[in-house]
Structure 1
Amino acid sequence: MIRTIKFSIFIISLLCIWEGLVRILHVDPYTLPAPSAIGLSFIYDFPEYYPHLLPTIQLVLIGLVCSIIFGILCAVILNLVPVLNDYIYPLLIISQNIPVIVIAPLLVIWFGFGLLPKLIVITLICFFPITVSLLEGFQATDQDLKKYMHMMGANRFALFTKLEWPNSMPFLFNGLKIAGTYAVMGAIISEWLGSDKGLGKFMLLAQRAFQVDQVFVAIVWIIIFALMIYIVIELLQRFVLRWHHE
């Protein structure tokens, strides 16, 4: 609670400094609008950007689910078939060094302007932290417990389901927190490719019209979505891990 109050005071202080500098230096609103102007746009332009909120939320959620499924599958396969690590893991690392904004137009050419290329973009951005975190959780399993279960006659499947998977839960949620925040960014990038609605489309329209305050409104909503996803994952982690420990 105290940390939240301190952080709130810090943010308010930054906004006050921003507001003061814009007014004192007479900064052009087309270059950098004041926080008060952004706040007014946030309220009064709501009917203008409201139709773009729901499509982005839907895209983020669907993309995040796809990323979670793909990320967990990759980690499980690499854990159960260790020989694939030498071949698949380097490819996963390479995939994170390819700028998504570069291959995004190719995805549109290959798959069109529908939902699929957008989901591919989000998955490419978000699956890696899930896979890496989960693999780290598998590898952090107590070796003495593994030996004990082997002595008790546990097979590979029982070892995975009874020991490695439960042990990796804290690591998995750490990866989910990172992926959840990345998912919003991935959705915005995918909407830049070609979309009729969404915050990414709204940002492009605002930029072309030199409505910089509306661009910042979109940024505020992006931050809100990312924080909401993080909070939901944090609450889910507390519930699951508490139940797991019990």
Structure 2
Amino acid sequence: MKTLKYYSGSFLLLCFLLFIWQIGAESYNKKFILPTPMDIAVKMSELNDVLLFVHFPATLNVVLFGLAISITFGVGLAVWMNHSTIAERTFFPIVIASQTIPIIALAPIFVLWFDYSIWSKVVVTVLITFFPITVSTYDGLRQSSKEIIDLFKTMGATNQQIFFKVQIPAALPYFFSGLKVAVTLSVIGAAIGEWLGANAGLGYFSRRMMTQFDSAGVFAPIVWLSLLGIGLFLIVKLIENISLKWRNYE
């Protein structure tokens, strides 16, 4: 109840915007261009089985595979760059430069390389999510208190003990901040990959509905994509709260 009361303003604003959308779309009276929220809700109920049991799992698999790869290699690279100046000077500029390339322009190339398999979408997702995880974790490791590290050294602590007892706790808040950004971006990456080349997935279904000039059908999978991103964000937030109980959450 406290959470619902805390976010009551956001809920009321959302209801107001949906009301304005409903009235505006009805006044515009061109549902093939701008459907009403009620039209979208009806279409979602009609497509419930195919969206939830066919296309939603396909998108979820892409998102989870992409996030798993980004977390594994992103955290690993951040740790390496923190311990090696050569690694930092070699890879950090490349990580930054990777974000200057428009992903939507590369996605068709990945389709050519990997065909319509899951990996063409996973690569797009990794390229989008790798950056926030790597950079945030690296910044967190660099924020470790020098005074505490010196204190541990004077007490005879090994580098391994300093890493696990000082640097990792200092980096965890930054890691979770980057991960919360990454999980929302992962949904966008999966949708882009599916939009440009796929046999299943919410992005693919949205594109298919567009070719049929079914505007409500276009919005229905987009709503599920949004709900997927929100759900993943809340899961990461829950894990963060459990893992970082020593922080003072309000």
TM-score by length of 2: 0.92
SS in 1 for 2:245: helix
Segment of structure 1 superposing worse, 86-95 or 2-11:
2-11
Q: Counterparts of 1:47 and 1:143 in 2: how far apart (Å)?
A: 56
Q: Percent identity?
A: 32
Q: Which residue in 1 is equivalent to 2:22?
A: 19
2:138 is the counterpart of 1:135: yes
Which sections of structure 1, spanning at least 5 residues, go unmatched? Answer: none
From 162, 182, 185, the counterpart of 1:182: 185
From 66, 79, 87, the counterpart of 1:63: 66
Q: Counterparts of 1:21 and 1:204 in 2: how far apart (Å)?
A: 25
Over 3 Å counting, the alpha-carbon distance change for 1:160 and 1:244 in structure 2 is farther
Segment of structure 1 superposing worse, 9-18 or 58-67:
58-67
TM-score by length of 1: 0.93
Over 3 Å counting, the alpha-carbon distance change for 1:60 and 1:132 in structure 2 is same
> 1:182-224, CA deviations, whole angstroms, 9 ceiling, x for partnerless residues?
1111111121232211101101110000111011111110110
From 34, 40, 45, the counterpart of 1:43: 45
2:174 is the counterpart of 1:162: no
Q: Counterparts of 1:187 and 1:130 in 2: how far apart (Å)?
A: 17
Q: Counterparts of 1:171 and 1:5 in 2: how far apart (Å)?
A: 28
> 1:79-122, CA deviations, whole angstroms, 9 ceiling, x for partnerless residues?
11123222211110110110111112222233333222222111
Q: Which residue in 2 is equivalent to 1:34?
A: 36
SS in 1 for 2:199: coil
Contact 2:203/2:222 (<8 A) preserved: no
Q: CA RMSD in A?
A: 1.7
Segment of structure 1 superposing worse, 187-196 or 175-184:
187-196
Question: What amino acid sits opposite 2:31 in the alignment?
Answer: P
Question: What amino acid sits opposite 1:170 in the alignment?
Answer: P
Q: Counterparts of 2:50 and 2:93 in 1: how far apart (Å)?
A: 45
Shift of 1:233: 0.5
Which sections of structure 2, spanning at least 5 residues, go unmatched? Answer: none
Taking the TM superposition and a 5 Å limit, the aligned residue runs for 1:140-155 are 140-155=143-158
SS in 2 for 1:201: helix
Count of equivalent residues: 244
Q: Counterparts of 2:202 and 2:28 in 1: how far apart (Å)?
A: 31
SS in 1 for 2:198: coil
Question: What amino acid sits opposite 1:47 in the alignment?
Answer: D
